[in-house]
Amino acid sequence: MSTIPKTARLDAVIPASHQKVFATLLRVNAEKGLNTTLRVAGGWVRDMLLGLYSSDIDIAIESPSGSVVSGERFANEVSAFEATESGKAHTVGVIRVNPALSKHIETATVCVHGIPVEFCALRADEYSSDTRIPQVRPATPLGDSLRRDFTVNALFYNLNTNIVEDYTTGLEDLQGCIIRCPLSPKETFFDDPLRLLRGVRFVGQLGKLNFSLHNNILESVDDELLDKLSHKVSRERAGTEFTKMMTTAFPEKCVELLFDMRLLQKYLLAEVYMKQLPGKKKFSSEIERIEYLSDKEINSQRALESVMELNTIVCPLFSKPSSPLFVEEKGRLIAMMFELIIPFFRSVPPPEVEKRLYALCINGLKLPLYTFHSIQAMINCYNVLRSYSLSITALHQADVTDPTKLIVFEALGHLNNSSVISKAFNIVLYTFLVLEENFNLLHSTGEPNKVMDFYISLWRRLEAQQGLLNAYQLQLPVKGSDLRNIKGIKPINIGALLIDIRKKVILNPSISREEIIDWLKEVGGSNLKT
């Protein structure tokens, strides 16, 4: 790599708020006699060149010969300047990478005109075999570029010259929509395996621009690298990166890459079981065993094929605003996780679903508890439909039969809690249609769009069944307090009877309060048999 960078002008209009920040930094640099070269580094440069907006301003500081201006020192000078100008000093936050070995290479953050700005001296990283936390040392712009994860993130915007500088192949790769490592992928990922997951995430983030991973990245993933990933990257960090992937605009592209590189099968989709504390019900933080979903299933190959079929047919619909299955970003992780694991959880009893799903979502990926509860509810809902061999043909009839309505009612019961996303049943039903019909519909129509047309027609049939889809939100003609006054009804049975009343109402939408009370007196507190 040359020490002389390729250069380019930044044609994009820099936001006025950012121009104000840069002007202040240059003024501090001049008035304090620091004489540094200030460069905006990383994602801000990439996004500006792509015509995107970025709020992440990271400043790489090149000190003049014979002196060292650290990130902390520059941030403190900026804070003091702001205090003089506006009468308000901002707190400087400092992250010391390795205090014993990395003097002057700390990262400091301070707000400038209300925008957080990160400062760090140009640096090179040196890694040991057992950790992704580096030892760092001062470096040249070239050395700083080479330690970064990808060439498109190794670009600089020189504030002193207003020129973009490229010490790798970042400009070329931006033009070619390629995610490439500055060094060999093996070296880059062995140092910090989390970078591999970040690369996948960038493809999802930049999916609209058709970015892809360079072939040498795909070819670099082997058992040795997967082992490095398992040992050097915490489950928390991996789960955070996975969550970001699943909430991009193109999560299905991320899944395809994760599958091709075996990251899905041999790292992410894993049930992690913790060691139980001796003589106690509580568990320790030590892992007892890891069970990969792809190894547990007898027909694991077919289950994986189903995952990828769902990823192709269903998952792209979650991020399309015009789709009936569109899910807001917060709920997209739940929708995506359901699609990725339902082929491994079909017909699994609810207690086993709870145990295995907790090991996968909470222990394995460190996802929030509400995501676990929502996915659990959707799996149990799906399995109710499957246990009754729900006939899609019967659902599509103009006159839906009472037994079919009761199957739907029972399935919806699992979704009757606040953690469940609003489109949960839409997603469950569409997934059921795709998986359980064995693609007969897809094959007969010849294109996925026809499956959606069929689903829309099916959903309209369900909406036409008065009170069915909102059966658990309906205001009943009688309340629990009314049941206490009926002879023969024990308090312990009231909850079950209220469920039976809901069934009665969806099967007979015009039923009156008096008819329900007469029926309750007749059954004498015993549950309605269906």
**Among candidates 65, 94, 67, which has minimal Cα distance to 79?**
94
149 DSSP assignment = S
Q: How many CB atoms sit inside 10 A of residue 152's CB?
A: 29
Exposure of 123 in the CB half-sphere (CA atoms within 13 A): 25
Distance CA 520, CA 303 (A): 46
3-state secondary structure 481-495: HHHCCCCCCCHHHHH
Q: Per residue of the chain (530 residues), what is the pLDDT tens digit?
A: 667 899 999 999 999 999 999 999 999 999 999 999 999 999 999 999 999 999 899 999 999 887 889 999 999 999 999 888 887 778 899 876 554 443 445 889 999 999 999 999 998 766 556 555 656 667 899 999 999 999 999 999 999 999 999 999 999 999 999 999 999 999 999 888 999 999 999 999 999 999 999 999 999 999 999 999 999 899 999 999 999 999 999 999 999 999 999 999 999 999 999 988 776 777 878 889 999 999 887 788 899 999 999 999 999 999 999 999 999 998 999 999 999 999 999 999 999 999 999 999 999 999 999 999 999 999 999 999 999 998 888 888 778 899 999 999 999 999 998 889 999 999 999 999 999 876 555 555 556 677 888 899 999 999 999 999 999 998 888 887 777 777 667 778 788 888 999 999 999 998 988 888 888 877 764 444 33
pLDDT at 99: 46
H helical segments located in 137-222: 141-146, 170-176, 185-191, 194-205, 215-220
Return the structure tokens found at 44: 């801000």
Q: What are φ and ψ of residue 64, in 5° steps?
A: -70, 160
> How far from the centroid of its chain's Cα atoms is residue 40's Cα?
28
Taking a C-beta distance cutoff of 8 angstroms, is the pair 241, 194 a contact?
Answer: yes
pLDDT at 130: 59
pLDDT at 530: 35
Q: Which amino acid is at 503?
A: K
pLDDT at 380: 98
105 DSSP assignment = -
Exposure of 83 in the CB half-sphere (CA atoms within 13 A): 11
Taking a C-beta distance cutoff of 8 angstroms, is the pair 246, 332 a contact?
Answer: yes
DSSP string, 269-332: SEEEEEEEPTTSSSEEEEEEEEEEHHHH-TTHHHHHHHHHHHHHHTGGGGG-TTSTT---HHHH
Instruction: For tokens 């001296």, name the residue.
Output: 121
pLDDT at 172: 97
**Among candidates 129, 170, 175, which has minimal Cα distance to 153?**
170
**Among candidates 292, 330, 457, 462, which has minimal Cα distance to 385?**
462
Distance CA 293, CA 353 (A): 13
Taking a C-beta distance cutoff of 8 angstroms, is the pair 149, 127 a contact?
Answer: no
Q: Which amino acid is at 481?
A: S
Cα→Cα distances 374→269, 309, 335, 409, 521, Å: 17, 22, 9, 18, 37
Distance CA 159, CA 119 (A): 14
Instruction: For tokens 């509580």, name the residue.
Output: 282
Taking a C-beta distance cutoff of 8 angstroms, is the pair 372, 362 a contact?
Answer: yes
Return the structure tokens found at 269: 């989709």
Exposure of 294 in the CB half-sphere (CA atoms within 13 A): 16
Instruction: For tokens 């659902």, name the residue.
Output: 395
Strands 270-276 and 212-213, bridge-based pairing: unpaired
Ordered structural domains, the chain, with CATH: 6-172 (3.30.460.10), 184-263 (1.10.110), 269-464 (no CATH), 480-523 (no CATH)
Residue 107's SS3 state is: strand
pLDDT at 201: 97
Residue 115's SS3 state is: strand
Taking a C-beta distance cutoff of 8 angstroms, is the pair 255, 197 a contact?
Answer: no
